Structure 1
Amino acid sequence: MDNSDLSTLSWSTPPAMAGVMVAGGLLLGGAALVAGPDPAGVLLMIIAAVLLLVLGSIGLRVRPRLAVVDTHTLAIRTLTGGVRRYAFDEVRRAQVISYPRLGRRVPHLEFDIDDATAHEGERLVIFGRWDLGANPLDVADALREAGLPMSERK
Structure 2
Amino acid sequence: MDESTERSHSVVSWSTPTAAVVALVAGGVVLAGAAAFGGLDVAGQVLIGLAALGLFVNAALSARQRPRLAIGPGPTLVLQRVSARRVYERGDIDRIRLVKYPRLGRRVPMLELDVREPDGTEKLVIFGRWDLGTSPQTVFEALSVHGLVPDEK
TM-score of the superposed pair, with normalisation by structure 1: 0.86
Instruction: Give the deviation of 1:6 after TM superposition.
Output: 6.8
SS at match of 2:98: strand
**Number of residue pairs the alignment of both structures matches:** 147
Where does 1:1-154 land on structure 2 (aligned, <5 Å)?
7-80=10-83, 82-117=84-119, 121-149=121-149
Larger helix proportion, structure 1 or 2? Answer: 1
When the two chains are superposed, the root-mean-square deviation of aligned CA atoms in Å is 2.2
Q: Deviations over 1:101-143 (max 9, x none)?
A: 10011111111111134xx611111111111111101110111
SS at match of 2:100: strand
2:3 counterpart residue number: none
TM-score of the superposed pair, with normalisation by structure 2: 0.87
Which amino acid counterpart does residue 70 of structure 1 have in structure 2?
P
The answer to whether the Cα contact below 8 Å between 1:19 and 1:60 also exists between their aligned partners in 2 is no
Which amino acid counterpart does residue 103 of structure 1 have in structure 2?
G
Instruction: Give the deviation of 1:71 after TM superposition.
Output: 3.3
Which amino acid counterpart does residue 138 of structure 2 have in structure 1?
D
Alpha-carbon separation, structure 2, partners of 1:124 and 1:39: 42
Which amino acid counterpart does residue 37 of structure 2 have in structure 1?
V
The answer to whether the Cα contact below 8 Å between 1:95 and 1:150 also exists between their aligned partners in 2 is no
SS at match of 1:24: helix
The answer to whether the Cα contact below 8 Å between 1:110 and 1:124 also exists between their aligned partners in 2 is yes
Q: Any stretches of 5+ residues in structure 1 without a counterpart?
A: none
- Share of identical aligned residues, percent? 45
Q: Deviations over 1:77-114 (max 9, x none)?
A: 0111x111001221111111111010011111111111
